[in-house]
Structure 1
Amino acid sequence: MPFEYVPLLRKQLEIYTLPRGFERFQSYIKTIVNEAGDDVAVAPLVTMNPMGKEHCNALLEQYLAPEIDAERLAEQTLAEFATDAALRVSLVLIDDAKGGWTNRTDYEYKLRTQLGASLKRSRWLSLMLWTSATPSAESVIETTRTTLRRALHVLAHGDPKTLREILAQEAAAQTQFQTLDPEELVYTREVLMPLLETPTENMPVIVAALFGDTAAVSLGYPPLGLGDNAGLSLALQI
């Protein structure tokens, strides 16, 4: 069975329309667990903030509005991929703007180093939309394409074991790359080349190498002197 798209954004909005408190949390738990109540049935919604504030409602309404129609766009983009991979795929809004326990860098790191293990457990692929980002049709399409390409690479090659393998994975996955000026490009390459065999378990180095100093410092890790997403920008060249 190929990719199967499962719309979940409206379900998220339904949860957020309930008053913040015990009733909403109970509705959230009931939505994500199986009938027996002993396992997660809707894996993408595990990453949502069940106590999200009004900004979550507003963003979901924008994504669902006819001007974007995110569910339709994601499903259409899914049809571009000819595969026999039996995965369910869903958009999910993750609250990195005002969700106290959500650090986007941590999520992005796990997405690039542990996706294969996650797919093996749940057979469910999350297309992550962030509350810190501005909703647009282009961002939905880009997120869908990049995430699906990354998943196909991981299904073929397994989770990456080193920084070099992460960069190869991202070169296969990304459809848009940030452009570095010539001087920054040379500097980034000089910093990363000696680190290419760093194991993915070395989260402080991997985070700084891929996402740059700002992301590293946000998690309390030492910087490498790199700009935002500099390592990802170098992926194709490495």
Structure 2
Amino acid sequence: MQIEFVPLLERQRNLYRIPRGGDRFSAYLRLMLNEAQNEVRFPPLVALNPMAGDDVAVLIDALIDLDTEEVATRAAVEASSQHTELVRCFSMGLVVADDVGGGWTNRYASEFFLITGRGRSSPFQQSWIAGVLWSSEPATVRGVWETVQTAVHRTASIHRNGAAQTLRDYLSQEGDAMARAGCVAPTIDAEDLEYTRQLLTPELDETNPRTIMECLFGDEASRTLGFTPRGLSYRAGLALALHDARLMSSRRSQRSREQRMQRSITDRSEQTDCMPQSFGSGR
């Protein structure tokens, strides 16, 4: 798996330097579409709000000041190096999605679109990975690192295993991607984890997108989307997925350490057996 990182933050910042109105929207269309106007030039930019306010411009400035595209490049290279079996080349870029400034973006619907890996119609669009940052969150190096690595691991999983179909598939895919990326959130306490597990277990083979979104994102998402709350905490399903994936990774690491220790003991034993015996000079 190889990734070419494409800087996109400055392009977004230049767009927001144009006052909101027709001129900015025209510039947005020129940025988004190729000359033939039949293909998106930079697929990650589909997530941006062309009429976003100054808060998004300020956030992009902060991301540029932190040199986050250099951070993102290193994160992408490190994550992709774990998937050498995947013989594919991708392009990747960062985009700031506006989940604060109005009705352009519903974060939960947008996130679900990302984790499905669907909706990219052309091979060109399928060759891109979007590192989506959110206007409701501050600019941090860690946030960019986790976002990029999660997106890369998710993409590798989709190409290796196929697109997730059931809630069980999504929990496995997202838990593994977040754990590999070193994510520490979302989290819920032990009692809530068990409660969430009980609620989600009967739904594990469900394929209805609405049900899956309710289970992954919790009641806050359900309310914003007009769905039915299930009594789930914020991102409860994703928190459970991350917890289980980290636990599984820890167990694999423990088994690996035990196997290495056993091999070491066996090797030393074999070396001892092969040593020449020393006999005293008896009289």
Task: Name the TM tier (shorter chain).
Answer: over 0.9
Q: Which residue of 2 aligns with 1:151?
A: 155
In structure 2, the gaps of 5 or more residues are 246-283
Structure-1 separation of matches of 2:63 and 2:54? 15
Question: Matched residue of 1:92: which SS?
Answer: strand
Query: What is the distance in 2 between the residues matched to 1:5 and 1:107?
Result: 22
* Equivalent residue in structure 2 for 1:237, among 238, 244, 253: 244
The residue aligned with 1:112 is 115
| Counterpart in the other structure of 2:266 | none
Residue by residue over 1:51-110, the C-alpha shift from the partner in whole angstroms, topping out at 9 and shown as x without a partner, is 111111100000000xx2111100111121224421110000000110422100001111
Q: For residues 191 and 77 of structure 2, what CA distance do their matches in structure 1 show?
A: 40
Give yes or no for contact 2:96–2:135 (8 Å, CA) kept in 1: yes
SS in 1 for 2:244: coil
TM-score, normalized by length of structure 1?
A: 0.93
SS in 1 for 2:89: coil
Aligned residue for 2:137, secondary structure, equals coil
**Structure with the higher fraction of residues in helix conformation:** 2
Q: Which amino acid is the alignment partner of residue 45 of structure 1? A: L
- Higher Cα radius of gyration: 2
CA distance in 2, matches of 1:178, 1:131: 18
- Alpha carbons of 1:206 and 1:5: their partners in 2 closer, same or farther (altered >3 Å)? same
Deviations 1:115-174 (A, max 9, x none): 155386411111000001111111001101111111111111111010000011012200
SS at match of 1:87: strand
Distance 2:134 2:244 in 1: 28
Matched, 1:70 2:54: no
Q: Is the alpha carbon distance of 1:5 and 1:22 closer, same or farther for their aligned partners in structure 2, counting shifts above 3 Å?
A: same
Aligned pair partner of 1:160 in 159, 164, 167: 164
Match of 1:225 among 224, 231, 235: 231
TM-score of the superposed pair, with normalisation by structure 2? 0.79
Identity %: 37
The 3-state SS of whatever aligns with 1:118 is coil
Structure 1 residues 19-53: Cα deviation after superposition (integer angstroms, max 9, x where no partner): 11111111111111111122212111121111111
1:95 matched residue in structure 2: 98
Letter in 2 for 1:130: W
The Cα RMSD (Å) is 1.6
Distance 1:231 1:45 in 2: 28
How many residue pairs are counted as aligned between the two chains? 233
Q: Residue 91 of structure 1: SS of its match in structure 2?
A: strand
Shift of 1:179: 3.1
Moved segments of 4+, more than 4 Å: none
Instruction: Flag structure 1 segments of 5+ consecutive residues without an equivalent.
Output: none
Cα deviation, residue 7, structure 1: 0.5
